[in-house]
Chain A
Amino acid sequence: EAQVTQNPRYLITVTGKKLTVTCSQNMNHEYMSWYRQDPGLGLRQIYYSMNVEVTDKGDVPEGYKVSRKEKRNFPLILESPSPNQTSLYFCASSRKAGGLTGELFFGEGSRLTVL
């Protein structure tokens, strides 16, 4: 079954404790992206990757890091989480990056709370 898998789905952590949210897709997609969703603000892009070892900043990259060492995985790293990073996070992938005419597949989301 074609899917985008995120882990963990739920996480409560404390300020400053490094954490990683993993994202994996089994569709051999080139394009992967991370979004955060906050009430009243819609989905906002954090980082995206057009292919292996190719990443770029989205609209709200501050406080986040990513890596793309393999095509299927695109982890989101919070080196020193702060309460304003409490949010619902989504990973998504698409077959191609240029034009993005294809469907964007989303994971089930990871709800992160930073105390």
Chain B
Amino acid sequence: KNQVEQSPQSLIILEGKNCTLQCNYTVSPFSNLRWYKQDTGRGPVSLTIMTFSENTKSNGRYTATLDADTKQSSLHITASQLSDSASYICVVSGGRRGVTGTASKLTFGTGTRLQVTL
């Protein structure tokens, strides 16, 4: 069964500190891995997308890593800001054949809720 597990479930850090969020997956076949940021009550917004051959990808203060051998990814946030307070969702894309043809299936983790405080 395709699964995406994230840890920790929640995290509180002081403004200016760094943090790392973890994602383990069992999705097969693997196509790509995405990290999304979701503010409370809003739709998820893409941070990074990584394919099998990419080990690391940055988007400003966000750096994602991918180890396709161990099926693990991490999202590192540097010099956190209050605006980083949100849920961070790991999403893995894998192939699936439906009745209408082949489309990638996205398997979503349940997210890590990050709170940045003063």
Contacts and interface: CB of A to CB of B under 8 A. Distances in A.
Assign chain A's interface to a size class: 20 to 34
B99 A108 contact: no
B5 to A, nearest CB: 10
Given A42-B108, A100-B31, A106 B103 contact: no
Contact of A100 (B45, B99, B106): B106
A107 B103 contact: no
B108 A106 contact: no
Nearest to A101: B32
Interface stretch (A12-20, A52-60, A69-77, A78-86): A52-60
Contact of B41 (A4, A107, A109): A109
Contacts of A40: 110
B46 interface: yes
Interface of B: 4, 31-32, 34, 41-46, 49, 51, 89, 93, 98-106, 108-111
